[in-house]
Structure 1
């Protein structure tokens, strides 16, 4: 895929592919299905994206961009670093209810793309590294003695909430994660 703006057909392909990849799984969706659902030829899909690998990467980057924008937008509305740490869990709960009923697209992608050389695997891993660094930065701003350790703990709580929500059907998983983060911050 190039960095040029997407044509209307390419936007439709990406929207359809994103929906299919998220709801049916990356491995369960072929280029023929994407083309048919988008109302274009398979040639159009390949002309614009080059490969399924590139289309998967575009899908994951799009989801990541939306999540980062959503989360940072929510954090801009909150005061100090401790409050922003807790607000990440509020935002996560809202995101899970509205955008991620099937769980985290990045975790799902990592499960389907175990080859670390796959660009999609790297995009998903980068997203997890970003959230960990966000926590580390907020922990440092809050004056925590070991911001890296707290960042690791918060990341584990965050990811655990995502899995509990989608796999164990715990609708309040993000709220429970927030309560756990409050305990860590009170130490």
Structure 2
């Protein structure tokens, strides 16, 4: 087997592990899923898991990093459209609403992880805090760009609305929750501008 083939095989196995862990962690919770199940469903050996991840915590961190990249990508894609600032805020809100209405939605992966890892010193909790800080800073910048003042307050309001919608969206009618969330975004834009 060539090195290129080995590298391809290695990255495919890592991707299978991460995809499997992501699917199960998000659907069922992190603590409820053991590495044996991930190995079995990813159809790899235990040695393969440990070749790519030092342990379950490192796999969890990779899962959260992948979720973080996905959310950043969504925001970057909206920003790349070159919309007026208030429309950018609305488009980010619509992107969040689309996620809430998607099949299998179970809330925010980061809030779910924080609930399972409440120790502020744990690396998983630290990864959640880092993502949340980025999201707050991004929301604040979006609000500042849209002329909402004070941007720090309106950014926090946007994050809190999003968090509430993410929590309620998996408990109640997602369409109603999304409509309420988007109405809240409009309210922020009206009162903050």
Instruction: Settle same-fold status: TM greater than 0.5.
Output: yes
Match of 2:186 among 179, 182, 187: 182
Select 1:92's aligned residue among 73, 88, 96. 96
Q: Which of 66, 69, 91 is residue 73 of structure 2 equivalent to?
A: 69
Query: Aligned partners of 1:99 and 1:63: how far apart in 2?
Result: 17
* Distance in 2 between residues matched to 1:77 and 1:95, nearest whole Å: 19
* Stretch of structure 1 that moved more, 41-50 or 74-83: 74-83
Are the aligned partners of 1:162 and 1:174 in contact in 2 as well (CA < 8 Å)?
Answer: no
Larger radius of gyration: 2
How far off is 1:172 after superposition? Answer: 2.9
Indicate the residue corresponding to 1:54 in structure 2: 58
What TM-score, normalized by structure 1, do the two folds share?
Answer: 0.90
Give TM-score, length-normalised by structure 2.
0.87
5+ residue gaps, structure 1, are none
Deviations 1:106-127 (A, max 9, x none): 1111111111222221222222
Q: Kindly indicate whether residue 36 of structure 2 is the aligned counterpart of residue 20 of structure 1.
A: no
Q: What is the root-mean-square deviation of aligned Cα atoms in Å? A: 1.9
Matched length = 184
Out of 48-57 and 108-117, give the one that drifted further: 108-117
The 5 Å alignment of 1:5-154 reads 7-77=11-81, 79-98=83-102, 101-154=105-158
